C-alpha cells in the first residue's frame, strides 16, 4: 500500500503528424490541452539529445496558461530527434513545485506516450522525429 516513492511519472501525449515534406529547417508547434486552470504559466523544455534530459533543455520557454489550451511554436529547428517536457506552473512562482519528499505536485507531461516506471520516462521514450517542415505535437496534461 505504499507508492510513496512514485516520485515522478508519466504523461499522456498524442502525436500528430501534419505534413511530410523534408526540409533543412522545420517549425514545431506544441499544443497543450487539459489544463486545470488559466493560472500561471506553462513551461516547455525542448531537448535534442539524451544528455541533459530533464536537466538542461535546448530551449526553455514559458507561455501564459489558458484553460482552453496553449499553443507554442518553435521556429527554424534543424531536422532531427527531439523530446519535450512541460509543466504547468499554476502558482506562478517560476518553479516546478514538489512536496517535501520531492514528489511533483504541479501538472507535468512529456512528448509521446511516455510514461516512466517509478520515475520520469527516458529521452528515448519521449523522443520524436522532426523531418518535415511543419509538425504539431499535442500534449494532454489531464
Partner 1 sequence: MDRRSFLGSASAVAVAPFLFRASGAAADGFTPKSLFANNPRLTPFRGFAGQDVACDNLAVEGKIPAALRGVFYRNGPGLFERGGQRYQHWFDGDGLLNAWRFTDKGVSHQAKFVRTEKFVAESEAGEFLMPSFGTAIKAKRPVKNSDSVNTANTNVVRLGDRLLAMWEGGSAYDLDPQTLATRGAITWKPELKAMPFSAHPKVEADGTMWNFGTVGFGKLVLYHLSEAGEMLRYHLLDSPPSAMVHDFAVSQKHIIFLLPPVIMDRDALKSGGSFGESLRWNAQESVKVLVVEKADFTKQTLMEMPAFMVFHFGNAWEMNNVIHVDFVKSDNLDIMSEYMPRLMRGESVASAASNACFMKIDLNKRQCSMEARSELVEFPRIDPRFVAQRNRMVFYPSYVGNDPSSRFNSVLRVDTETGKTDRYSFGENVQLEEHVMVPKPGAIKEGEGWLIGIGFDQIRQHTFATVFDALNLADGPVAIARLPYWMPLCFHGNFYAT
> Measuring CA to CA, which residue among 29, 51, 54, 33 is closest to residue 42?
33
What is the spatial distance between Cα 29 and Cα 49, in angstroms, rounded to a whole number? 19
Please report how close the Cβ of residue 34 comes to partner 1 at its closest, in angstroms.
Answer: 10
What is the spatial distance between Cα 114 and Cα 54, in angstroms, rounded to a whole number? 13
- 108 lies in the binding site for partner 1 (CB under 8 A): yes
What is the spatial distance between Cα 75 and Cα 27, in angstroms, rounded to a whole number? 4
| The one segment of 42-50, 61-69, 70-78, 105-113 that binds partner 1 by CB under 8 A | 105-113
Contacts of partner 1 in 33-92 (CB under 8 A): none
Please report how close the Cβ of residue 78 comes to partner 1 at its closest, in angstroms.
Answer: 30
| The one segment of 1-9, 45-53, 72-80, 128-136 that binds partner 1 by CB under 8 A | 1-9
Amino acid at each position: 500500500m505504499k507508492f510513496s516513492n512514485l516520485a515522478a511519472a508519466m504523461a499522456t501525449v498524442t502525436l500528430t503528424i501534419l505534413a511530410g515534406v523534408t526540409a533543412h529547417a522545420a517549425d514545431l508547434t506544441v499544443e497543450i490541452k487539459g489544463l486545470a486552470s488559466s493560472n500561471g504559466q506553462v513551461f516547455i523544455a525542448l531537448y535534442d539529445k539524451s544528455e541533459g534530459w530533464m536537466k538542461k533543455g535546448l530551449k526553455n520557454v514559458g507561455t501564459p496558461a489558458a484553460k482552453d489550451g496553449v499553443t507554442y511554436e518553435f521556429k527554424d529547428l534543424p531536422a532531427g530527434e527531439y523530446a519535450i517536457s512541460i509543466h504547468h506552473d499554476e502558482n506562478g512562482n517560476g518553479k516546478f513545485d514538489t512536496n517535501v519528499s520531492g514528489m511533483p505536485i504541479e501538472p507535468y507531461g512529456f512528448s509521446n506516450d511516455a510514461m516512466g516506471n517509478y520515475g520520469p520516462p527516458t529521452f528515448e521514450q519521449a523522443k520524436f522525429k522532426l523531418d518535415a517542415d511543419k509538425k504539431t505535437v499535442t500534449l494532454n496534461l489531464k
